[in-house]
Amino acid sequence: MNNPASMQDMVKHAFANMRGRLTPQAPLGPRTWFRVGGAAEWLFQPADAEDLAGVLQRLSPELPITALGACSNVIIRDGGLEGVVVRMARGFADITVEADGIIAGCACLDATVAEHAAQAGLSGLEFLAGIPGSIGGAVRMNAGAYGSDIANVLDWAEIITRDGSLIRLDNAALRFGYRRSGLPEGAFVIRARLRGIPANPQDVANRIAEVRAARELSQPVRARTGGSTFRNPDAETSSRKAWELIDAAGCRGLRCGDAQVSEKHCNFLINLGNATAADLEGLGEDVRTRVAQNSGVSLHWEIKRLGKTEASSQ
């Protein structure tokens, strides 16, 4: 927005009757798994779906708006985010267990949903234990691991569109693809129903333990990191996975400042302590360049990179 006074008026109008919390210039770095990034011009944490819908109905289409969840698969750039950042919290964390599935709020952690499924004796959702992040983000990007993904288990998702309308979309309407969905532009996932298959609770718990052990063995889960940095190429482009291409290009352990390509799993970037968002993104682009030069394959980012660089925020 070019006119700060106009921005203030728009925000004042849109949030006049909110029940949630609105914070100006809210630091986002501490909320992200990488622990990097600038501030949100405005951070809105709605009380519930009705609160969010009401604000969206009053919010000018001119005002930029960004949805953030657990911030596990995102790099917030050092210049922060303009406009309003919406972050779901307690009002979106309910879990309802049914005979053949689970209805989970968008703020529920994927691993928590897997645990509830195990307690209820529902199989088919164990893969969620290996995915960092929350259900809202998992639906948006069709998150997957260990042989399954959201597209395989989702019955429906409820969303709130940019104009504040509440809509339920079934699996087909979401047009899932590899690490993507067909959610309408600017839509917010509110909750989703995930199918489960009745099973012995101990068998489900054992499978979750196997998933967690495999993740601990192969990924830098105790470091400041996100999920997989790059999507795996499609089969027509390359038969090798992203990590194999990165390794073959000599990038394992590569550094830019305090940003490093993990030596444990080279499709993960790590903040060794004092990396900036620019360090992480620059390292990722360096990896992409080296892979392209070595194999001719162009890797595509899986991690979302949002906001302004520090230079552009001056």
Residue range(s) of every CATH 3.30.43.10 domain in the chain:
9-90
Residue range(s) of every CATH 3.30.465.10 domain in the chain:
92-218
| 125 neighbors 144 (Cβ within 8 angstroms) | no
From 82, 115, 158, 302, active-site residue:
302
Residue that wins the pLDDT comparison between 7 and 275: 275
DSSP H stretches of helix in the chain: 4-14, 49-58, 110-120, 135-141, 150-153, 201-218, 242-248, 277-295
| 222 neighbors 250 (Cβ within 8 angstroms) | no
**215 to 63, 199, 200, 284: CA distances (angstroms):** 40, 23, 23, 22
CATH topology of domain 9-90: 3.30.43
Residue range(s) of every CATH 3.90.78.10 domain in the chain:
224-306
Amino acid identity of residue 218, one-letter, is S
Q: For residues 20 and 280, what is the distance between their CA atoms, to the nearest angstrom? A: 33
Q: For residues 167 and 246, what is the distance between their CA atoms, to the nearest angstrom? A: 41
228 as an active site residue: the answer is yes
Q: Between helices 49-58 and 4-14, what is the axis angle to 10°?
A: 140
Domain 92-218 - what CATH class? Answer: alpha beta
From 179, 195, 212, 215, active-site residue:
179
Q: For residues 268 and 252, what is the distance between their CA atoms, to the nearest angstrom? A: 10
State pLDDT tens for residues 287-310: 999 999 999 999 999 999 999 987
Region 36-45 average pLDDT:
96
State pLDDT tens for residues 71-82: 999 999 999 999
Q: For residues 63 and 86, what is the distance between their CA atoms, to the nearest angstrom? A: 13
Q: pLDDT class for 4, splitting at 50, 70, 90? A: low
From 228, 238, 262, 295, active-site residue:
228
Nearest CA-CA partner of 191 in 141, 148, 139: 139
**DSSP 8-state code for residue 80:** -
Region 149-164 average pLDDT:
97
Q: For residues 134 and 30, what is the distance between their CA atoms, to the nearest angstrom? A: 17
**DSSP 8-state code for residue 123:** E
Interacting residues of 181 by C-beta distance below 8 A, sequence separation 6+ = 139, 140, 141, 142, 150, 174, 175
Interacting residues of 251 by C-beta distance below 8 A, sequence separation 6+ = 261, 266, 286, 287, 290, 291
Q: For residues 264 and 105, what is the distance between their CA atoms, to the nearest angstrom? A: 33
302 as an active site residue: the answer is yes
| 224 neighbors 130 (Cβ within 8 angstroms) | no
Q: Which pair of structure tokens corresponds to residue 288? A: 């992409």
**221 to 29, 65, 212, 265: CA distances (angstroms):** 19, 30, 10, 10
CA dihedral 14, 15, 18, 24 (to 10 degrees): 150
Stated length of the chain: 314
State pLDDT tens for residues 91-144: 999 999 999 999 999 999 999 999 999 999 999 999 999 999 999 999 999 999
Q: 3-state DSSP call for residue 98?
A: strand
- Please state which CATH number belongs to domain 224-306: 3.90.78.10
Distance of CA 6 to the CA centre of its chain: 31
Predicted pLDDT of residue 18: 93
